[in-house]
Structure 1
Amino acid sequence: MRPGADDGVMSIDFLAGFTIFMLALIVVVGMVPGLLAGLASSGIDYDAVAYRTGVILVEDPGWPVYPPWEMTDPAHKDDIQRIGLAVSKDTPNILLSTKVERFFNESFFDTEDYRSKAIFGDIPYSYNFSLNISHPDGNYELKQAGDPLPPGHGYIRRAVKIKEPGVAKIEYDQYTNSTLDDSTPRMFTIRLNFSHLLNQSIGPAYRIDPRTEPVRVNINMTGYLNPGTNATLQSVTFWKMDTTRSNPGFTPIPFSYDVKDSDLYTLTLDGSSSDLLPDIPVKTNISFVLKPAATSLFTLDQNSILDIRFIFDDSPQRTTLNGTYLYDYDSVPPPPLKPGVLEVAIW
């Protein structure tokens, strides 16, 4: 064989090997980005976080359900596991007014509460919650919690409606009893029959449930007074009956009647705040609100009847107001749901 005859063969072998190597290298380089995709850092989808938070707020009643989380006192705030504003899980986008009021109370909830009970996540998100409520008179009410909005935040908007309690309005003389003598104290009773109020055939959005919403009573006294006089409201007391017991009867509910507690109730007489043992004259109006925090102490269920008794006592008696007012769907129709817009911003 001539000298140098193998040179051509070696060059071809080297070229073939080098070509295969380059092709393999190109394939590997093309695969590397896909292999490392799971390891690469990615931005946070704030819109997704805002959407998830919005769903929790408008479609979930929160936890605990009963007694509802919004009744929790500040000392036991850690018992609240989840904040939701819906009336129930069956009423998405219909919010309960008492839950709304508590949620936007930034003196009750702090930043960490909103993050851990509404937003949920390992990252310390910043947030802004706002609810714009439309009132029947054309005015708007804006509720907000959180920080001012920066550029580049995630955002979701939900159309909602707000359920508010009705009001018992006693304005005429249908509760006048002229057969009582002047020495008999007058007793006017607001009666709540829970077997009727908690009727499951009535949807949660329109159901009267004093365990989760306040009982409101307004009494116009001007039509129930003897001319030129006033009447002394001696006391407001609570009585309960359990209809499942043999020989059921009303028994008084122990309560701090002589201590004003606006978290449990408010009693306003002619515009002045009072406790439940006022023993003072009333000329024009009685406004009473029994709040869910109080009814939760009474252990009420579908077998309960609750009486709220207003006792008037003068000598001689100066008012004709006497009888029993049934607080039910006929006398206290739920008001129309108020439309609103809930906006959730996360960054």
Structure 2
Amino acid sequence: MFSIDFLVGFTIFMVALIAVASMVPGLLAGLQSSGIDYDAVAYRTGVILAEDPGWPVDPPWEAYDVNHKDEIERMGLAVSKDAPNILLSTKIEKFFNTSFFDPEDYRSKVIFGEIPYSYNITLRSLDGRYNHKVGQETPEGYGYGYIRRVVKIKEPSVAVIDEGFKNQYTITISPGDNSTTRTFTVRLDFSRLLNASIDPAYRIDPRTEPVNITITNFEAFLNGTASNATLKSVTFWLGSSSFPFPYDEDDTDYYTLRIDNNPDLYPPEPGVGVSSNISFVLKPAATSLFELGPTSILDIRFTFENADYPHTNITGIHYYDYNPKNVTRPALKPAVLEVAIW
């Protein structure tokens, strides 16, 4: 039989051994490596860029100007959370604008984390149309995390109104018509555009992408022997209310106007004569000024006015919608997104 003294001593020994064993991991904690899984950080960044539209979404973060840049919380490039790996061209354009964003913006709004990571983010389309890069050159060897994703890029739709619409958008002037004004309207009917049955990858949404309108072969719409028609104004109407700023100068943050492809007329002033074409782009920053709902109707009105007689017969309403005769929607463009973190 073991003596009482042996049992007491053995018990004390075991208690001490257990206490020491429990303390050893803590003593060695400072000697353990603190490696970072850069691949995990690169993967997370790739997910944010390719699968997240960013935040805010209404208005979208890419529409914010420099005075509101601090309100941008996350810079995702996806068209929608319901359309992963489909990137929106307007988000891409803003994201790679290094004169707008600085290195810390990319770390805090897309990479995240308290560590000041170095990064290299590139996006290249297979046709070479997109070739963007931001960040530092990647280090030699394998000392960085890396992820590559195959994506597609959604580009804006465009309405081309040419001589094929002549019979639809011209009127015959009666002998007693003394009017000198003609109005042509392009209508954005959001009950058509924001139809939930349309896949977000193919949806036309003026709140997040530009509206492109080109009136070409304008001479087909001229009246009689007139060589041009005077474009008096371009105005924007939401219902019966006019846009806060009717067109009187070119403001590239909101919209652009080109007349007859003449660089000497840029920016064109009101009252310019049009002989061959008009190119107009309404940007999301402009539409974000309105509270556009699922039933809103936004009209873009081109008003032509000449003092002597109407130089053009163009009139009517052109719907900017999913009818392929009215609007052309470019095919999604294949591209490769690469993220390196170290």
TM-score (norm 1): 0.84
* 2:213 is the alignment partner of 1:224: no
1:220-239 deviations in Å (ceiling 9; x for gaps): 11221244611111110111
Compared with structure 1, are the counterparts of its residues 223 and 38 closer, same or farther at alpha carbon in structure 2 (3 Å cutoff)?
farther
Q: Which of 75, 82, 90 matches 1:90?
A: 82
Which whole-Å CA distance do the structure 2 matches of 1:290 and 1:275 have between them? 15
What is the match of residue 284 of structure 2? 292
What is the match of residue 6 of structure 2? none
What is the match of residue 190 of structure 2? 194
For residue 178 of structure 1, report the CA deviation from its aligned partner: 1.5
Q: Is the 8 A contact 2:235 2:246 kept in 1?
A: no
Matched to 1:321, the amino acid is I
What is the match of residue 154 of structure 1? 145
Equivalent positions of 1:42-81 (< 5 A) are 42-81=34-73
Which whole-Å CA distance do the structure 2 matches of 1:147 and 1:131 have between them? 14
For residue 256 of structure 1, report the CA deviation from its aligned partner: 5.1
Which whole-Å CA distance do the structure 2 matches of 1:270 and 1:344 have between them? 43
Report which of the two structures shows the higher radius of gyration computed on alpha carbons.
1
Compared with structure 1, are the counterparts of its residues 59 and 198 closer, same or farther at alpha carbon in structure 2 (3 Å cutoff)?
same
Which whole-Å CA distance do the structure 1 matches of 2:101 and 2:301 have between them? 36
What is the match of residue 234 of structure 2? 236
For residue 286 of structure 1, report the CA deviation from its aligned partner: 0.3
Q: Is the 8 A contact 2:226 2:311 kept in 1?
A: no
* 2:316 is the alignment partner of 1:311: no
Q: Is the 8 A contact 1:235 1:276 kept in 2?
A: no
For residue 323 of structure 1, report the CA deviation from its aligned partner: 1.2
What is the match of residue 169 of structure 1? 160
Which whole-Å CA distance do the structure 2 matches of 1:149 and 1:285 have between them? 47
What is the match of residue 271 of structure 1? 261
Q: Is the 8 A contact 2:255 2:283 kept in 1?
A: yes
Q: Is the 8 A contact 1:257 1:277 kept in 2?
A: no
Measured on the aligned residues, the alpha-carbon RMSD in Å equals: 2.4
Matched to 2:157, the amino acid is G
Residues paired across the two proteins, number: 312
Which whole-Å CA distance do the structure 1 matches of 2:322 and 2:204 have between them? 8
For residue 319 of structure 1, report the CA deviation from its aligned partner: 1.5
* 2:334 is the alignment partner of 1:339: yes
Q: Is the 8 A contact 1:237 1:276 kept in 2?
A: no
Q: Is the 8 A contact 2:171 2:315 kept in 1?
A: yes
* 2:137 is the alignment partner of 1:143: no
Which whole-Å CA distance do the structure 1 matches of 2:182 and 2:51 have between them? 47
Q: Which of 163, 172, 176 matches 1:178?
A: 172
What is the match of residue 14 of structure 1? none
Q: Tell me whether 174-183 or 62-71 shows the greater mean CA deviation.
A: 174-183
Q: Percent identity?
A: 63
Matched to 2:73, the amino acid is Q
Q: Is the 8 A contact 1:266 1:288 kept in 2?
A: yes
Which whole-Å CA distance do the structure 2 matches of 1:228 and 1:192 have between them? 31
Q: Mark the runs of 5 or more structure 2 residues left unpaired by the alignment.
A: 1-12
Matched to 2:320, the amino acid is Y
* Shift >4 Å, 4+ stretches: 31-35, 273-277
Q: Which of 104, 123, 148 matches 1:131?
A: 123
What is the match of residue 206 of structure 1? 202
Compared with structure 1, are the counterparts of its residues 333 and 284 closer, same or farther at alpha carbon in structure 2 (3 Å cutoff)?
closer
1:43-95 deviations in Å (ceiling 9; x for gaps): 22211111110011101111111111111111111101111001111111001
Q: Is the 8 A contact 1:189 1:324 kept in 2?
A: yes
What is the match of residue 320 of structure 2? 327
Which whole-Å CA distance do the structure 2 matches of 1:256 and 1:113 have between them? 35
For residue 321 of structure 1, report the CA deviation from its aligned partner: 1.4
Q: Is the 8 A contact 2:233 2:248 kept in 1?
A: no
